[in-house]
Amino acid sequence: MIARVWRGRTPADKADAYASFLERTGLSDYRATPGNRGVLALQRIEGDSAEFVLISFWDSFEAIKGFAGADVEKAHYYPEDDSFLLEKERKVAHYRVFSDGLGGVKA
């Protein structure tokens, strides 16, 4: 299993709106992509900004291509992200999951 990790930051006052936006877009699209095994969506407010970390779980890099396209290292954004994010990371990180400690990640 592969974990794909994306990070983003918004102004703190837009955190709830961005979380709702993520549910409607990225998280929904992850879950609808064959080979997706689930996603953890994390948020923390620190001062004037909110940090988001999405960790999605995939069967393979081929499955990730179904969501991200041919360049799996490239971060995937939606047009509306520009109205929320303070900056946009160009790349995501991938990790091989060798133990989840949770009894299995479920979609």
CATH number reported for the structural domain that contains residue 33 in this entry: 3.30.70.100
pLDDT value for 100: 73
Specify burial of residue 101 (Cβ count, 10 A radius: 0-12, 13-18, 19+): exposed
Count the domains in the chain.
Answer: 1
Q: Which domain holds residue 40?
A: 2-96
**106 assigned to some structural domain:** no
Average the pLDDT over 54-73 and give the result. Answer: 96
**Percent of all residues in the chain with a pLDDT value above 90, rounded to a whole number:** 91
Is position 68 within any domain? yes
Instruction: Give CA–CA dist 57/13, Å, rounded.
Output: 29
Whether 103 is in a domain gets the answer no
Laid out side by side, the sheet with 93-96 consists of 36-46, 49-58, 2-11, 93-96
